[in-house]
């Protein structure tokens, strides 16, 4: 039996979906520092835990408490700041704290793997304030001597070299570390490496925005850069980043889906060389860990990546940049539910550093925050290149026969642009060959067995697939219902579009990009890279091609089918449609030829369609905001949704009824709206039935009050395989 530890007990975070932390007795000599990982005895086996805090007492009885003996780390893997941020996230989004803390670690460290030292340690100098320097010189000559020696070594000094200067180097070096005068890394630290590609001279507009924005940096502040597509926002971020690097600061640079913005990685590499690391789903766990570790050690100064890179740690963070801040991929919808933009803003606030959000189509939330003067707003209205973003033009498809989903006008324009040497982008957000398979005779439809959804015909694999659960079924020869009718397909997906356009424009390459045709980041890079050559070609695809890229050869953008968004049940549909239209349209005309943008519709008189062609994004956004205000929807109210899914709808509804009962008293007292429980829009998904209960209020204090009062009881309701429930704070959609 280990002896009773002098430090008492410790609380650990363990990655299981329970709203609690776990107390352990600490073995004698067990290191105690928040952020260390331990392998802990748990049930019959073991689990990895992250030490959070120590305390003298625990309410676990002495016979039942287990002892933590096996520490996995030499130094904490989570900083105190990161633990505080994770705890805030868990608290605000009402997510299980253990799962949240593990989410902040790179995948490689989530199990019991130890960090293997691969290279020799080097100590190198950080910027030292003048008064600290003076104090060291006067009072701590040993520290001062070592500091100066380290400062003078461009590659830092290793243990042997330090020992040569002072045999008793250990304790002064440690003292310098705590004073943050020096730091160690495992390889040569990145000093400002030579700039490879010179920055372009900023346009007057860019330079004005940069100067104004940069002058306000320093303390916590949120800045929204609202610049039309191709206006050179990236160039402004680069300047801000450069400026941070010159001050020895580090930067986190978030982008929606890095797999898709290979072009950006290349641009950053060209500009900043070795100082940057990137992390995204195309890398292995080990590669992502290495990027995380290099950034943490200060060996790289820029972390470029997707949502989860928000949790990268470092000592000298000076700025966070979030590009395409409106993008819904910043919202994590499974596992831990959070919005990376909002958590990033909290992080900036906790560190008292600035954060810059940018977009050509800013989210309504952010525009609202500018109106309320919570954020600074900057605008770039022009492109530094030859032509302004094209105006969208409606193509009325009511009276015409579509060929492969395209109207005659669209086909004519595509042909014209190609023959004049332009590249053409055709956006269709529906993969597969055809979205509907039906019996001509009796009206039978091919539906998924596990979901309330239709099966999509994929001709290349001769199957009908469910896009929600992956269920696959062969195409029946005759109708399974009436046994005689012909099976027909309706509608058009990217596969059919590709076929049609290939036939029609056979002398030009057709590049299709969607989740079926492109399965890896490299493949994506390779395909889209073909545009780089600038030769005329057709690029067709889903939302994967709608954003982030900058190919000056594209002169025509076409949106084939936007009509479904006009009648969607989602209150966000119009916002999304407008953003997509401007983003897709904005891919064209970035080079030295004027761009054109077309949008096909059967509802050209619809007010939203009219707005798309007659107004700027900002004006449309303002009117949608007005509408939301009238209806009391976000951002004018806050929404919390309890979601349940179960093997039957009754069970899911019953669970939410139970949760509703706990909420009832508070909801009434505080005037918070409570809607439901009701079955979810798509009730059955992957064989489970789903329902939801929604809380909504324009008063965040009252809403938080309800949660504060009711959650202690609700948190005790188990979430099991037969009936699962989760909370979705600031839910994206109702």
Nearest distance from C-beta of residue 365 to ligand ADP, angstroms: 20
Distance (Å, rounded) from C-alpha 9 to C-alpha 590?
Answer: 62
Closer CB to Zn ion, 450 or 698, in the complex:
450
- Which tokens go with 414? 């595509």
Note whether 451 binds Zn ion by CB under 5 A. yes
User: How remote is the C-alpha of 619 from its chain's centroid?
Assistant: 27
| Binding partner of residue 442 among Zn ion, ligand ADP, none, CB cut-off 5 to 8 Å per kind | Zn ion
Question: Which of 450, 459, 568, 658: binder of Zn ion (CB under 5 A)?
Answer: 450
Nearest distance from C-beta of residue 635 to ligand ADP, angstroms: 24
3-state secondary structure of 428: coil
* Sheet arrangement for strand 250-254: 276-279, 302-305, 250-254, 317-323, 354-359, 221-227, 376-380
Q: How many CB atoms neighbour CB 700 within 10 A?
A: 10
Closer CB to Zn ion, 479 or 706, in the complex:
479
Nearest distance from C-beta of residue 656 to Zn ion, angstroms: 23
- By CB under 6 A, the residues from 541 to 580 that bind ligand ADP are 550
Distance (Å, rounded) from C-alpha 498 to C-alpha 518?
Answer: 14
Residues that contact Zn ion, how many (by CB under 5 A): 15
Nearest distance from C-beta of residue 683 to Zn ion, angstroms: 12
Residues that contact ligand ADP, how many (by CB under 6 A): 17
Nearest distance from C-beta of residue 574 to ligand ADP, angstroms: 23
| Binding partner of residue 231 among Zn ion, ligand ADP, none, CB cut-off 5 to 8 Å per kind | ligand ADP
| Binding partner of residue 235 among ligand ADP, Zn ion, none, CB cut-off 5 to 8 Å per kind | ligand ADP
| Binding partner of residue 234 among ligand ADP, Zn ion, none, CB cut-off 5 to 8 Å per kind | ligand ADP
Note whether 603 binds Zn ion by CB under 5 A. no
Strand-strand pairing, 67-68 and 456-458 = unpaired
Radius of gyration over alpha carbons of the chain, in Å?
29
| Binding partner of residue 471 among ligand ADP, Zn ion, none, CB cut-off 5 to 8 Å per kind | Zn ion
Note whether 628 binds ligand ADP by CB under 6 A. no
Are the C-beta atoms of residues 186 and 271 closer than 8 Å to each other? no
Note whether 481 binds Zn ion by CB under 5 A. yes
| Binding partner of residue 227 among Zn ion, ligand ADP, none, CB cut-off 5 to 8 Å per kind | ligand ADP
Longest dimension (CA), the chain: 97
Question: Which of 129, 134, 442, 681: binder of Zn ion (CB under 5 A)?
Answer: 442
| Binding partner of residue 88 among Zn ion, ligand ADP, none, CB cut-off 5 to 8 Å per kind | none
Note whether 290 binds ligand ADP by CB under 6 A. no
* Sheet arrangement for strand 9-14: 67-68, 22-26, 9-14, 45-55, 37-42, 70-71
**What's phi and psi for 430, nearest 5 deg?**
-150, 110
- By CB under 6 A, the residues from 365 to 384 that bind ligand ADP are 384
Note whether 229 binds ligand ADP by CB under 6 A. yes
Distance (Å, rounded) from C-alpha 559 to C-alpha 580?
Answer: 9
Per DSSP, the residues of 18-40 read: SS--EEEEEPTT----TT-EEEE
Nearest distance from C-beta of residue 393 to ligand ADP, angstroms: 21
Residue identified by tokens 């309890």 is 642
Note whether 468 binds Zn ion by CB under 5 A. yes
Q: How many CB atoms neighbour CB 603 within 10 A?
A: 17
Only one of the segments 484-492, 503-511, 631-639, 665-673 lies at the binding site for Zn ion (rule: CB under 5 A); that segment is: 484-492
Are the C-beta atoms of residues 545 and 513 closer than 8 Å to each other? yes
Q: Taking CB under 6 A as the rule, which mask of x and - marks residues 494-533 in contact with ligand ADP?
A: ----------------------------------------
Note whether 423 binds ligand ADP by CB under 6 A. no
Handedness of CA 275, 278, 284, 290 (dihedral sign): positive
| Binding partner of residue 184 among ligand ADP, Zn ion, none, CB cut-off 5 to 8 Å per kind | none
51, HSE (Cβ side, Cα atoms, 13 Å): 28
Alpha-carbon distances of 484 from 213, 435, 591, rounded to whole Å = 69, 22, 56
Nearest distance from C-beta of residue 258 to ligand ADP, angstroms: 15
642, HSE (Cβ side, Cα atoms, 13 Å): 29
Distance (Å, rounded) from C-alpha 84 to C-alpha 350?
Answer: 9
Helix (H) or strand (E) holding 290, with range, is: helix 285-296
Note whether 385 binds ligand ADP by CB under 6 A. yes
Distance (Å, rounded) from C-alpha 267 to C-alpha 578?
Answer: 28
Contacts of 591 by beta carbon, 8 Å cutoff, 6+ apart: 385, 386, 552, 553, 554, 555
The conformation of residue 434, written as its DSSP 8-state character, comes to B
| Binding partner of residue 479 among ligand ADP, Zn ion, none, CB cut-off 5 to 8 Å per kind | Zn ion
Question: Which of 235, 327, 514, 733: binder of ligand ADP (CB under 6 A)?
Answer: 235
Per DSSP, the residues of 400-419 read: S--BTTB-HHHHHHHHHHHH
Per DSSP, the residues of 46-62 read: EEEEEEEEEES--SS-T
| Binding partner of residue 385 among ligand ADP, Zn ion, none, CB cut-off 5 to 8 Å per kind | ligand ADP
Question: Which of 469, 566, 654, 734: binder of Zn ion (CB under 5 A)?
Answer: 469
Nearest distance from C-beta of residue 685 to Zn ion, angstroms: 7
Q: Where are the alpha helices (DSSP H) in 80-228?
A: 80-92, 97-103, 130-139, 141-152, 159-165, 170-178, 204-216
Note whether 590 binds ligand ADP by CB under 6 A. yes
Are the C-beta atoms of residues 217 and 351 closer than 8 Å to each other? no
Only one of the segments 106-114, 186-194, 230-238, 448-456 lies at the binding site for ligand ADP (rule: CB under 6 A); that segment is: 230-238
Question: Which of 37, 47, 183, 233: binder of ligand ADP (CB under 6 A)?
Answer: 233
- By CB under 6 A, the residues from 189 to 208 that bind ligand ADP are 200-203, 206
Are the C-beta atoms of residues 213 and 225 closer than 8 Å to each other? yes
Question: Which of 31, 282, 485, 491: binder of Zn ion (CB under 5 A)?
Answer: 485
Note whether 269 binds Zn ion by CB under 5 A. no
Note whether 444 binds Zn ion by CB under 5 A. yes
Are the C-beta atoms of residues 681 and 568 closer than 8 Å to each other? no
Q: How many CB atoms neighbour CB 139 within 10 A?
A: 9
The candidate with the shortest Cα–Cα distance to 71, out of 101, 21, 36, is 36
Closer CB to ligand ADP, 276 or 289, in the complex:
276
Closer CB to ligand ADP, 252 or 321, in the complex:
321
Closer CB to ligand ADP, 359 or 368, in the complex:
359
The conformation of residue 486, written as its DSSP 8-state character, comes to P
| Binding partner of residue 161 among ligand ADP, Zn ion, none, CB cut-off 5 to 8 Å per kind | none
- Which tokens go with 336? 């831990």
Note whether 230 binds ligand ADP by CB under 6 A. yes
Strand-strand pairing, 638-646 and 688-697 = antiparallel
Note whether 232 binds ligand ADP by CB under 6 A. yes
Closer CB to ligand ADP, 471 or 582, in the complex:
582
Helix (H) or strand (E) holding 667, with range, is: helix 649-670
Note whether 231 binds ligand ADP by CB under 6 A. yes
Question: Which of 48, 95, 234, 692: binder of ligand ADP (CB under 6 A)?
Answer: 234
Nearest distance from C-beta of residue 304 to ligand ADP, angstroms: 14
Note whether 354 binds ligand ADP by CB under 6 A. no
Positions touching Zn ion (CB under 5 A) are 439, 441-442, 444, 448, 450-451, 466, 468-469, 471, 479, 481-482, 485
Residue ranges in contact with ligand ADP by CB under 6 A: 200-203, 206, 227, 229-235, 384-385, 550, 590
């Amino acid at each position: 039996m280990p002896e009773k530890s002098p430090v008492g007990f410790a609380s650990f975070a363990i990655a299981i979906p329970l709203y609690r932390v776990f107390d352990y007795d600490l073995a004698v000599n067990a290191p105690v520092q928040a952020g260390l990982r331990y392998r802990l005895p748990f049930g019959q086996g073991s689990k990895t835990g992250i030490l959070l805090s120590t305390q003298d007492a625990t309410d676990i009885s002495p016979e039942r408490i287990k002892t933590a003996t096996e520490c996995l780390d030499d130094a904490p893997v989570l900083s105190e700041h990161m633990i505080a941020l994770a705890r805030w996230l868990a608290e605000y989004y009402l997510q299980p704290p253990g799962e949240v803390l593990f989410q902040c670690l790179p995948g490689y460290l989530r199990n019991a793997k130890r960090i293997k030292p691969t290279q020799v340690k080097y100590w190198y100098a950080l910027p030292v304030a003048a008064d600290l320097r003076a104090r060291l010189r006067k009072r701590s000559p040993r520290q001062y001597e070592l500091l100066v020696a380290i400062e003078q070594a461009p590659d830092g000094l290793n243990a042997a070299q330090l020992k040569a200067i002072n045999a008793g180097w250990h304790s002064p070096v440690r003292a310098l570390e705590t004073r943050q005068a020096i730091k160690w890394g495992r390889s040569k630290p990145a000093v400002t490496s030579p700039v490879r590609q010179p920055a372009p001279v900023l346009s007057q507009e860019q330079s004005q925005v940069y100067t104004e924005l940069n002058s306000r940096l320093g303390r916590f502040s949120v800045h929204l850069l609202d610049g039309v597509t191709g206006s050179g926002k990236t160039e402004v971020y680069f300047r801000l980043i450069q400026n941070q690097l010159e001050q020895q600061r580090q930067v986190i640079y978030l982008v929606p889906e890095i797999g898709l913005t290979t072009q950006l990685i290349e641009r950053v590499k060209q500009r900043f060389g070795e100082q940057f690391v990137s992390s995204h789903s195309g890398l292995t766990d080990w590669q992502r860990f290495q990027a995380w570790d290099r950034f943490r050690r200060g060996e790289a100064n820029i972390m470029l990546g997707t949502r989860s890179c928000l949790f990268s740690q470092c000592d000298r963070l000076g700025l966070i940049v979030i590009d395409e801040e409106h993008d819904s991929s910043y919202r994590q919808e499974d596992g831990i539910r959070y919005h990376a933009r909002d958590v990033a803003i909290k992080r900036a606030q906790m560190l008292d550093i600035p954060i810059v959000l940018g977009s050509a189509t800013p989210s309504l939330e952010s525009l609202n925050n500018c109106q309320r003067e919570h954020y600074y707003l900057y605008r770039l209205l022009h492109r530094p290149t030859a032509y302004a973003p094209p105006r969208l033009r409606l193509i009325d498809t009511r009276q015409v026969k579509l060929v492969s989903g395209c109207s005659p006008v669209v086909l004519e324009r595509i042909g014209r642009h190609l023959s004049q040497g332009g590249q053409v982008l055709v956006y269709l957000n529906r993969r597969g060959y055809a979205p509907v398979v039906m019996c001509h005779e009796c009206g039978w439809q091919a539906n998924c067995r596990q979901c309330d959804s239709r099966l999509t015909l994929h001709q290349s694999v001769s199957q009908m697939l469910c896009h929600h659960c992956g269920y696959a079924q062969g195409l029946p020869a005759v109708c399974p219902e009436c046994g005689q009718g012909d099976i027909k397909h309706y509608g058009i997906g990217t596969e059919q579009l590709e076929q049609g356009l290939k036939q029609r424009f056979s002398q030009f390459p057709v590049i299709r990009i969607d989740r079926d045709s492109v399965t890896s980041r490299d493949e994506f890079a390779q395909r889209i890279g073909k545009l780089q050559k600038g030769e005329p070609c057709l690029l067709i695809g889903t939302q994967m091609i709608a954003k982030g890229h900058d190919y000056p050869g594209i002169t025509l953008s076409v949106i084939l089918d936007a009509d479904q968004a006009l009648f969607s049940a989602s209150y966000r549909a119009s916002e999304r449609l407008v953003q997509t239209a401007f983003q897709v349209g904005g891919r064209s005309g970035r080079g030295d030829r004027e761009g054109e943008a077309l949008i096909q519709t059967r509802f050209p008189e619809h007010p939203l369609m009219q707005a798309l062609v007659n107004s700027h994004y900002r004006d449309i956004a303002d009117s949608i905001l007005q509408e939301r205000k009238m209806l009391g929807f976000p951002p004018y109210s806050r929404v919390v949704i309890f979601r349940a899914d179960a093997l039957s709808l009754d069970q899911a509804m019953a669970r939410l009824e139970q949760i509703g009962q706990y909420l009832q008293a508070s909801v009434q007292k505080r005037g918070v709206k409570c809607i439901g429980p009701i079955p979810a829009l798509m009730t059955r998904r992957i064989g489970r039935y789903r329902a939801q209960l929604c809380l909504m209020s324009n008063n965040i204090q009252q809403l938080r009050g309800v949660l504060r009062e009711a959650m202690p009881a609700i948190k005790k309701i188990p979430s099991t395989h037969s009936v699962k429930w989760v909370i979705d704070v600031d839910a994206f959609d109702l």
